[in-house]
Chains A and B, each alone.
Chain A
Amino acid sequence: MRDRWLKYVLILPAALLVMGTTIWPLGVSLVTSFRDWRLTRSLTPGPFIGVEHYLIALTDDPDFANAAKVTAIFTLVDVAVTVVSALGLALLLRRAGVLHSVTRAVLILPFAVSPALVGISFRFMFNAEMGVFTWMAGAIIPWLKGFVWLADPVAALLVLMFSDAWRWVPYMTLVVLGGLAALPKEPEEAARIDGATEWQVLRDVTIPALLPVLAVVAILKTVFALKMFDQVVTLTGGGPGQSTVTLAHLVFSIAFRWYDMGYASAVAWILTALLVFLAVWYMKLILRKPGGH
């Protein structure tokens, strides 16, 4: 059969695109991470220096330690908030009702907004003088009146998390709703007939059945939280100080403010290694499932 060759021909264009646009730059970055290369000194790559960049990053760079800490805190809180809120909201939205369908219809909107625009909009709404959220917080909790959110290290990180949750929680709610719709009705009904309360049905039947979907939500959100970049630039600029500098933002600064390509590549690769590890885990989870592609 000609199919024997045709199938490779069919895959070739996409394979070349993926090779050229991701595998090649990954390889170049890896090689660069072992070299000394500062664009301020030389336009061509310098000598190989082994794993020195990795050693510096992991043992002797307070900026890296700070960015790793910020990214870890951001990711942990962000993932926990997203999974719990998306699950809760999806369970609320399961039933029929006018409010329910209106809410379901607007869930997709935040995700369609460019993350860069989300960041800059929240910067405006948390502005000290004319921020509407600043004013609301002050109106509800008098103690917060006049509080400058983006000038406080902890509050700035909270605002960053809030802006990210605004974009992601509604979207992940749609994902969980999809999972809920696919569950068979019988186990829940059987539990009710056996006299279980709604809370028991939820805890012992519904949520265990949803675990695979919740795992997908958690891993996807982890990946996107670890890559957090756009809103850091447009909302906080990494500040105040370095309190909201994520790893992706640190790579950007090393490469395009200090022009140290070698060190930037090494830090980028530490982040990449973490993400590839998560990717493998995620693939195993969804490829194992019957009916999953």
Chain B
Amino acid sequence: MDRNAQARRRRMLWRGVESALLLLVLFLILFPILWMALTAFKRPVDLFDLTVFFTPTLDNFRTIFAHPWNIGQTFLNSLVVAGLTVLVSIPASTLAAYAFSRFEMPFKGALFFTILATQFIPAVVVVLPFYLLFRDLGLLDTHLALVVVNLAIVTPFAVWMLKGFLDAVPTESEEAAMVDGATRLRVIIDIVVPMVWPGVVVTAVFCFILTWNEFLFALILTRDDAVTLPVGITRFRTERGDLWELIAAAGILISIPMFFLSSVIQRHFVRGMTGGAVK
């Protein structure tokens, strides 16, 4: 009996420690997000007080949408660049992933391996030649330039993720349709794509998030016209000082859509990154 009571007390103690640890983790994860969210509604004078009680204002949001910041245009740039990148990359990646999933071919392993290995290349080595090329072509500071380089990050990811989804789709209905005389292309469009559609959407969202948050390419290749949000927020660090309340407001603008998208695809998020190695 005495031993049981001791064990129970030890378990209670451990429960308490566990709860305390989890509360600490929750605090560490959420606090920076909540603090930046609060800051977005503060007047500059309230910044120094570190208070959570203040008169909230929407002025910061009004300011960043007005001249000279025009964050609306920056938001639009991000939308166009991420959208176009996904639109080009996903169809091409789906076709390639299908071929990798269904067919045998010489050098298949080596080819697939090469596509995957490109993910490990540092962006900074890719951007040097592109910077020089776009400078010669007069394409610096354009959406097109950003879309092209972002394809470098997104396409290998997309092929990898989509192959995982396609491998999980059974092949019987494809074979049945082929026996009935349908061509392979018809089969892909009419049967495979509808079946793997959730996977396509998840991959597209994943690639959209990657492109939306991309910083290095945008920093080097854009100046005024094509600046995207991650570079846009650095503009609030001016010669007159850092405008933290505006940074926070712009930070909300860039993060909210991504919080929403990432929560929607959370379960697949991990798989996309580790390529099915972790199930």
- Summed over the interface, the residue pairs from A and B with CB atoms below 8 Å come to a total of 289
Partner of A13, one of B92, B184, B185, B231: B92
Q: A17-B89, A99-B22, A121-B36 are in contact. Are A271 and B125 (CB under 8 A)?
A: yes
The answer to whether B117 touches A117 (Cβ under 8 A) is no
User: Is the C-beta of B196 less than 8 angstroms from some C-beta in chain A?
Assistant: no
The answer to whether B151 touches A17 (Cβ under 8 A) is yes
User: Is the C-beta of B230 less than 8 angstroms from some C-beta in chain A?
Assistant: yes
Provide the bound-state CA to CA distance between A116 and B212, in Å.
11
Provide the bound-state CA to CA distance between A114 and B275, in Å.
22
User: Is the C-beta of A6 less than 8 angstroms from some C-beta in chain B?
Assistant: yes
The answer to whether A116 touches B279 (Cβ under 8 A) is no
Per-residue contact bits, chain B 199-233, to A (CB 8 Å; 1 contact, 0 not) = 00000000001001101100110000000011101
Provide the bound-state CA to CA distance between A293 and B100, in Å.
11
Contacts of A17 in B (CB 8 A): 88-89, 92, 151, 155
Partner of A106, one of B26, B132, B167: B26
The answer to whether B151 touches A21 (Cβ under 8 A) is yes
Per-residue contact bits, chain A 198-220, to B (CB 8 Å; 1 contact, 0 not) = 00000000000000110010001
User: Is the C-beta of B81 less than 8 angstroms from some C-beta in chain A?
Assistant: no
Contacts of A41 in B (CB 8 A): none
Say which size band chain A's interface belongs to: 35 or more
User: Is the C-beta of B53 less than 8 angstroms from some C-beta in chain A?
Assistant: no
Contacts of B274 in A (CB 8 A): 175, 216, 220, 286
Contacts of A234 in B (CB 8 A): 215, 234
Cβ distance B153 to chain A, nearest Cβ, rounded Å: 8
Per-residue contact bits, chain A 22-39, to B (CB 8 Å; 1 contact, 0 not) = 111110110010000000
Given contacts A22-B156, A121-B36, 13 further A-B contacts (CB under 8 A): A14-B95, A14-B97, A18-B118, A21-B151, A103-B22, A109-B30, A110-B33, A124-B248, A127-B244, A230-B230, A268-B122, A279-B116, A293-B277
The answer to whether A261 touches B273 (Cβ under 8 A) is no
The answer to whether B233 touches A125 (Cβ under 8 A) is no
The answer to whether B184 touches A14 (Cβ under 8 A) is no
Provide the bound-state CA to CA distance between A192 and B137, in Å.
68
The answer to whether B33 touches A113 (Cβ under 8 A) is yes
User: Is the C-beta of A54 less than 8 angstroms from some C-beta in chain B?
Assistant: no
Closest to A93 in B: B22
The answer to whether B278 touches A175 (Cβ under 8 A) is yes
Q: A106-B30, A108-B262, A279-B117 are in contact. Are A229 and B270 (CB under 8 A)?
A: no
